Amino acid sequence: MAIELNEPALKHARSLVREGKVVRDQRDDWSEAAPTADEENAFIEEHGWTEYSHWHLGIDKAESAETKGRYTFPFGDFRKVHRSGVISGESRAGQYDHDDIRDALKKLLELIDQD
């Protein structure tokens, strides 16, 4: 698995947080807040794969470009960044030794918690 940090997604996430488009929920809330498969499909249909990719901090270069399997470490619901998604992703990235993604999510969490 060749998962890399998705820099455009990180830039997008930071911008959303700075604009106040963030839900300050708790870690366990992510299971309820994460987009469903149907919501993902509707978003892709309306906005395309590039915009979909901007909501995921990981890209698996071994997967085809226009597949959901290419994009990992989601952090929001296509409207706002969710603190719970950031925490969940940080933990998962650490478990699987994706240090650059883990570190980016940690800094994003710090940005969220500044306010």
Q: How are beta strands 56-60 and 71-74 bridged, if at all?
A: antiparallel
pTM: 0.94
Q: If we measure between CA atoms, which residue out of 74, 86, 89 comes closest to residue 112?
A: 86
Q: How many residues does the chain have?
A: 115
- Looking up tokens 């590039």, which residue turns up? 50
Cα→Cα distances 5→2, 32, 57, 63, 89, Å: 10, 25, 6, 15, 12
Q: Domain limits at 22?
A: 3-113
* Alpha-carbon gap, residue 43 to 40, rounded angstroms: 5
Q: How many separate domains does the chain show?
A: 1
Q: pLDDT, tens digit, for every residue of 46-104?
A: 999 999 999 999 999 999 999 999 999 999 999 999 999 999 999 999 999 999 999 99
